[in-house]
Amino acid sequence: MAIWRKNRILYDDITINRTDGLTTSIDVDLKLYKEEDMISKNVKYNDENGDEQTYEDWDYEKCQVISNRKFNYVIPFEERTMLEKGTEHPHNQTEEIKYQERFTSWVEGYRATEEYIAGMRDLTNKVL
């Protein structure tokens, strides 16, 4: 999830942690990039009909991170789930929607933390 501000790109690089298949926490690594140094790539995926689609995105793995801030967000017990994002076709649409609702709630949760707010403030104000 990238945010563009002036000539900088701020990216939430996240890892969802599980214990015995149950989501427990999210490692968040807020990364700052210089927009002019970004490298793009074509990304391919299969849509809901199984048809291949392509779009252009930043290749974060090949771009230089200027600075970063890391923290861990503990997923509230009532929002934990065994569901996983579907990667095979056909998708189970009901489970996909449930997972996406939980994922959206987790993102809203970690973005409301003091660690996220302070990290974004620090990276936004960093002199490039």
pLDDT in tens, 26-77: 999 999 999 999 999 999 988 778 888 999 999 999 999 999 999 999 999 9
Q: Residue ranges of the domains in the chain? A: 2-125
In angstroms, rounded to a whole number, what is the distance separating the alpha carbons of residues 54 and 41?
Answer: 10
Q: Which of 65, 67, 5 is nearest to 39 (CA)?
A: 65
φ and ψ at residue 64, rounded to 5 degrees: -80, 125
CB 7 within 8 A of CB 55: no
Confidence of residue 116 (pLDDT cuts 50, 70, 90): very high
Q: Which of 62, 64, 18 is nearest to 40 (CA)?
A: 62
Q: What do you get for the CA distance between the two ends of the chain, in Å? A: 21
Q: Which of 127, 128, 77 is nearest to 106 (CA)?
A: 77
The pLDDT score that the predictor gives to residue 65 is: 96
The pLDDT score that the predictor gives to residue 45 is: 83
pLDDT in tens, 12-38: 999 999 999 999 999 999 999 999 999
The one-letter amino acid at 36: E
Most confident of 3-12, 25-34, 86-95: 25-34
The pLDDT score that the predictor gives to residue 85 is: 82
